[in-house]
Amino acid sequence: MNGDLSVSPEAANPEPLAVLAARVGALLRERGQTVAVVESSAGGLVSAALLAIPGASAYFRGGAVVYSRRAGRALLGLTAEDMTGLRGETEPYALLVAQRVRDNHHSGWGIAESGAAGPSGSPYGDPPGRVCLSVVGGPDSVSRSRTIETGGNDRPANMDLFARHLLALFEQVLRAG
């Protein structure tokens, strides 16, 4: 299911980042699977949370904070052709970069977020507190995306929420497979 703006009450405010990362890390270790991460507005919080778990080298392949087009070119090898008809902070873009980081890191999974943490909106006109999340990969070649709007412009709070929502979506996909 892609394009899901609705969030269940229990998912509206996901558990703490460390709790989510521990469960995701355990699932990946149990299954012998790996993940690579692309972040923009979460600023590396997802990667840091996953790496804080002892034994992370068993499942974490790498990550990148892609905060500009220049970073997308340098860190993911994105070309003008790749971006034709796309802009950042959309589900199609989040899916593209999740796939790219997965492929570049020879990982089983790629996860990504792209959004506007605040306090102002994005150059594309998106309001603060809006993020697009994606999960790509796994044995069944899953491709899942979701857009979340927090309704707030508190940058640190949104960064934390974006990271938690990405890990919560990833855990949901892992448990469904």
Residue 138's CATH number:
3.90.950.20
User: Model-level pTM?
Assistant: 0.94
Instruction: With respect to residue 59, please indicate whether it lies within any of the assigned structural domains.
Output: yes
How much is the pLDDT for 19?
97
Closest-CA residue to 155 (of 125, 116, 126, 124): 116
Q: Which residue has the tokens 């507190």?
A: 129
Instruction: With respect to residue 2, please indicate whether it lies within any of the assigned structural domains.
Output: no
Full DSSP string of 78-121: --TTTTTT--SSSHHHHHHHHHHHHHHTT-SEEEEEEEE-SSS-
Confidence check: pLDDT of 46 > 70: yes
Instruction: With respect to residue 15, please indicate whether it lies within any of the assigned structural domains.
Output: yes
User: What would the two tokens of residue 50 be?
Assistant: 């996953």
Q: Which residue has the tokens 């992370």?
A: 56
What SS3 class is residue 128? coil
Residue type for 152, please?
A: G
Instruction: With respect to residue 117, please indicate whether it lies within any of the assigned structural domains.
Output: yes
Burial of 85 (0-12, 13-18, 19+ CB in 10 A): exposed
Instruction: With respect to residue 3, please indicate whether it lies within any of the assigned structural domains.
Output: no
Domain count, the chain: 1
pLDDT band at residue 13 using 50, 70 and 90 as cut-offs = confident
User: What whole-number percentage of the chain has pLDDT above 90?
Assistant: 89
Instruction: With respect to residue 1, please indicate whether it lies within any of the assigned structural domains.
Output: no
pLDDT band at residue 132 using 50, 70 and 90 as cut-offs = very high
Tell me the residue range of the domain where 159 lies: 9-176
Instruction: Enumerate residues 6+ apart whose C-beta is below 8 A from 31.
Output: 174
What SS3 class is residue 147? strand
